[in-house]
Chain A
Amino acid sequence: MSPDSPPSVKVTTGSGKARWARLGRRLGARVLTGVVMVLAVATLTFFLVHSMPGNPIQTEYQTLIARGVSPSLAAQQVAGMYGFVSSKPLIDQYGQYMWHLLQFNLGKSITASGEPVVHLVLSAAPWTIIPVLSGLIVSFLLGVSLGAVAAVRRTNRLGKVLSVSGSLFHGVPQFVWAVMLAYLFTTLLPIFPFGSPYNILDTPGWNGPFILSLVYSAILPVLAYALSSYGGWLLTMRSSVVTVLGDDFVLAAELRGLRPLTQLRYVARNAFLPLFTTLLLSVGFMFGGSIFIEEVFDYPGLGYQLVNAVNARDYPLMSGDFLFITVAVIAANILADFLYTFIDPRVRKAA
């Protein structure tokens, strides 16, 4: 049987109970691997961030001096950080960090005078997750749809224009999109806000003005995410559809006189498979990009928090942000792997 057989082919996978048991075991193994990976990454990032030169208290003090704050006031401000920079040997700090980690305790922020890192990370997380996922979904839907059109119409002008647009958009890095959008729409033509997740004058809650303001403030960051990955989806989908279009089953479907819509369904399902894995894996890439995009738009998410933590040498907060992003990427991998078994019958059979 051809690996690209239409999905109508039945696959014997044993009894329902046994199949679920196998899937459960498979998921359990994946989660266990994921936990080990998280602990390994936590170890690596712990030593990485602590090997960075710099002292958080000295940095904060001198930064305030550089901002023109008088020495006495600067000393007053940094006094709140005393006691939160551990002076224990690094290996002891590591042991304590891992022990706390097992209890879901990420430690206390140095620059925020002992505020729990979990609290700070969770406060910033929604402002990264929502724009990242929105940008991903928008770019994916747009890229996949237009990629299919570009493949089907690859010989005419529309197909060529779409392909060129995909290459062009794919070649521009995320931060360039962000800088360009910020300059165009917040400075040159200031029609979009920046620097805030919503207009502070709108009362938060389930009310029209607040939701509108929330959406309005997220448009530019979401657009930056979407534009930077749209090209990739378009080109991948185009290539995938073109490959599938040449398969025997498509020719057989045509010869059998199946309706174009049915044919398209066959083609799309097969062409979509490689994109699905990439979709979930790209979550990690988008999180990485948040560092640039949030910095440009002064958008208060995890990337923005991470940059500030690195500059201020807030080791626990840095580790917390890295860990959160790591967990998100690993969870996306596990999810991709697990869901793939439902989408691709061959994998389900193997499971």
Chain B
Amino acid sequence: MKRNKVAIAAAAALACCASGLVAPTESASASSAIFTSIDETHPITLGAPMNPYNTKGNSFDSYDQMELGYNQYNGAHPDAMFPALAATWKTVRGGLDVYLQAKADWSDGEPVTSSDVKTSVANSFIVGTQASNLAGVTVLGPKEIRFNEEPGTHNSLFAAQVLETIIVPNSEYGALLPSDIWSVISASEGKGGAAQKAKATLTKLAPTVEDYAPKTDISAGPFYIARLNAGEALLVKNKYFFDASKISPEEVVLRNYTGNEEIWNYMEAGQLDFAPYTSMPSNVLHDVLRAGNKELVAPSFVAVALAFDEARYPYGIAAVRKALAYLLNRPAITKVGEPVSGAPAKWQTGLIDSVSAQWLPSSELSKFNRYNYDPAKATSLLKAVGFTERSGQWHMPNGKAWKITLATPSGFSDWDAAAVYMSHELSAFGIPTSVSTAPDYATYLTNIANGDYATAFWLNALGPAVYNAYARVWGNNVTSKGNELTTKGSFLHTPATFKTDGYGTVALNTLTEGLEDKTTAQARPVVAKLAAAYNQELPMITIWDYVLVEFVTDKHFTDWPSSPGLLNNPPGLWMWNGYVHAK
């Protein structure tokens, strides 16, 4: 009997402990005023400062980190921006005049002024993130500032790049700058030894700005960081925010993540009010939807392609690349690789399909070769350039058996699955194909840069500016050289010019480079030429366009946006644009 009593007491104690232990998470999720999410572009880093200039800094865009404006991700008008700390702006001769929100205040109650903007721009020069062609700024008033464009230059995205400047408080960051900072910046824009010396001075100043650790988070955004640990950040509503009345959540909890699996787990456990895009297989989607999450869908400005190193035989032959395009059944590959957030590429233009439709008239698009699955066409193309088939194996014009190795990085499950399916398709056609998986993305990128792969998976059709999409194909690929990113060199070894039906010889590199300086109207004919050249030269075969599939639950909040522009931006922006309300 005594033993039974002890057992019952132990069980009761255990039950009490268990119920007590469960309490913390229950209380956290039960409050409808707490918005729980993940910042997919910025995982939390323990020990890193609350500083937006630090690559791993704990600073969260649209919550406590604010810009003057946010990109609307409008494929047709890549310079269209949402107002943020800038209420309005106007292009003037020699620059851009920006008018700050009249009621914009920091979370310590001090107003956001032109001095804050000037300090932020100085910091952007120091860390190297200033807008292209920006010469400096002129304060026109407490809430009005002019961004000066370098004389004699024109950048079609100047306004957009200027408005994407992150704004930090002068009260925190001003003291980090030497008194002669603007003389140094001005000197750095010149030429010769003095400019080099000034650039070196700015480089030396960078660690001071990047490592600075503010004791408290002074934010001009709708929230400020109250505290954070290695797994979560707690942000509290900034009552001084210029549109505070529109911000429904009292608190935001941002959770950390390392990979897609963590985000899936959170969603399946119903722990996120908003989950960012993650690549996922159909069975996971099923579990996620069953847990009460619903999808928000918008175009994503990125696609995946099978890219070729044209310097390697036989991929320099256009007919070979075209034949492979006919052999790859893109809808079937997409169904295997990216069934949830992928749409098979319809047109091979170097742009995602929705942007193609915005930039190219349907009459033009209808002339484009769509390279739909057609092994017979592939056969005739290959035979026309000297390939032969013997005993079910294709041989190259040089007599050697044609074998393909598709390169992918480990951890990209969608690419891996697609590559395996493609290898079966090509092998069945008579081209023995294997998949080579690099141990991780860093190794994969190095191998690509070293020219180790003849065919590899590659992200393309970047946006929203068409310049980004074509720069990814024809020169100016962003790569790294030593200490910094550089825009030289391309592993694709594409030709500089291409004789294009209907347009004659198209200067691929030159036209691509020129796109950055052109207005939308000026860029349209250039895009028509480049798209046609892409379709005919086919430097890479776009397999699928990624689709932005985000997830929300209606458990605590409702009123989610549907416009692609907002969905491509973080949720803090949605809030002051009138969305996300507590139930």
Contact = CB atoms under 8 A, between A and B. Distances in A.
Majority secondary structure of chain B interface residues (helix, strand, loop or mixed): mixed
A55 B47 contact: no
A304 B258 contact: yes
A114 to B, nearest CB: 5
Nearest to A65: B459
Nearest to B53: A80
Interface stretch (A130-138, A199-207, A222-230): A199-207
B128 interface: yes
A200 B441 contact: no
Contact of B128 (A60, A82, A115): A82
Given A123-B46, A196-B256, A60 B232 contact: no
Nearest to A124: B46
Interface string B27-46: 11000001000001100011
B232 A70 contact: no
B1 interface: no
Given A79-B127, A127-B230, A311-B441, A112 B28 contact: no
B443 A54 contact: yes
B483 A82 contact: yes
A76 B166 CA distance: 10
B108 interface: no
B289 interface: no
Contact of B47 (A119, A196, A298): A119
B258 A298 contact: yes
Nearest to A314: B56
Contacts of A14: none
Contacts of A124: 46-47, 230
A113 B46 contact: no
Which bucket holds chain B's interface residue count? 35 or more
Contacts of A300: 46, 229-231, 256
B446 interface: yes
Contacts of B483: 57, 82-83, 85, 87
A105 B568 CA distance: 42
B46 A115 contact: no
Contact of A55 (B268, B270, B480): B480
Contacts of A38: none
Classify the interface of chain A: helix, strand, loop or mixed: helix
A313 B442 CA distance: 7
Nearest to A310: B440
A66 B255 contact: no
B479 A58 contact: yes
Contacts of A313: 442
Contact of A73 (B46, B164, B485): B164
B175 interface: no
A182 B485 CA distance: 39
B572 interface: no
B82 interface: no
A77 B232 contact: no
Interface in B1-46: 20-25, 27-28, 34, 40-41, 45-46
Interface string B188-218: 0000000000000001001100110000000
B143 to A, nearest CB: 25
Interface in A78-124: 78-83, 85, 87, 109, 111-115, 119-120, 122-124
A212 B21 contact: yes
A201 B230 contact: no
B419 interface: no
Contacts of A82: 127-128, 203, 206, 483-484
B445 A59 contact: yes
A69 B480 CA distance: 18
Nearest to B51: A113
A84 B548 CA distance: 34
Nearest to A203: B227
B277 interface: yes
A68 B256 contact: no
Interface stretch (A2-10, A163-171, A186-194): A186-194
Interface string A27-66: 0000000000000000000000000111111111111111
A112 B45 CA distance: 8
Contacts of A271: none
Determine the interface band of chain A, counting residues with CB < 8 A from chain B.
35 or more
Interface stretch (B363-371, B429-437, B461-469, B503-511): B461-469
Contacts of B463: 70
A64 B41 contact: yes
Contacts, number: 235
Contacts of A71: 462, 468, 471, 478
B24 A209 contact: yes
Given A67-B41, A71-B462, A195 B445 contact: no
Given A68-B277, A80-B210, A196 B229 contact: yes
Contacts of A77: 41, 55
Contact of B256 (A54, A113, A123, A195): A195
A62 B55 contact: no
Contacts of A53: 442-443, 446-447
A179 to B, nearest CB: 10
Contacts of B401: none
Contact of A201 (B27, B228, B459): B27
B526 interface: no
A213 interface: yes
A336 B482 CA distance: 45
A311 B439 CA distance: 10
Interface string B507-542: 000000000000000000000000000000000000
Contact of B468 (A70, A304, A307): A70
Contacts of B25: 193, 199, 216
A308 B45 CA distance: 10
Given A54-B440, A69-B41, A216-B24, A196 B231 contact: yes
Q: Which of B57, B157, B277, B440 has the most CB of A within 10 A?
A: B440
B55 A78 contact: yes
Contact of A111 (B56, B270, B485): B56
B257 interface: yes
B49 to A, nearest CB: 7
Contacts of B48: 112, 115, 120
Interface of B: 20-25, 27-28, 34, 40-41, 45-49, 53-57, 71, 73, 127-129, 157, 161, 164, 203, 206-207, 210-211, 227-234, 253, 255-258, 262, 265-266, 268-271, 277, 300-302, 412, 440-443, 445-447, 449, 459, 462-464, 468, 471, 478-480, 482-485, 546, 548, 568
List the 10 closest A-B pairs by CB distance, nearest first.
Answer: A196-B231, A54-B442, A300-B230, A58-B480, A123-B47, A80-B55, A200-B232, A113-B210, A112-B56, A190-B269
Given A57-B480, A197-B231, 15 more contacts: A58-B445, A58-B446, A58-B480, A61-B478, A66-B302, A68-B277, A70-B73, A72-B164, A87-B483, A120-B46, A123-B47, A200-B231, A200-B232, A212-B20, A311-B440
24 contacts: A54-B440, A54-B443, A58-B442, A59-B445, A66-B412, A68-B546, A68-B548, A71-B468, A73-B164, A82-B127, A83-B206, A114-B207, A127-B46, A186-B265, A194-B265, A195-B257, A204-B227, A212-B23, A215-B21, A216-B25, A298-B231, A300-B229, A300-B230, A311-B440
Interface of A: 52-73, 75-83, 85, 87, 109, 111-115, 119-120, 122-124, 127, 182, 186-187, 190-191, 193-204, 209, 212-213, 215-216, 219, 295, 298-300, 304-305, 307-308, 310-313
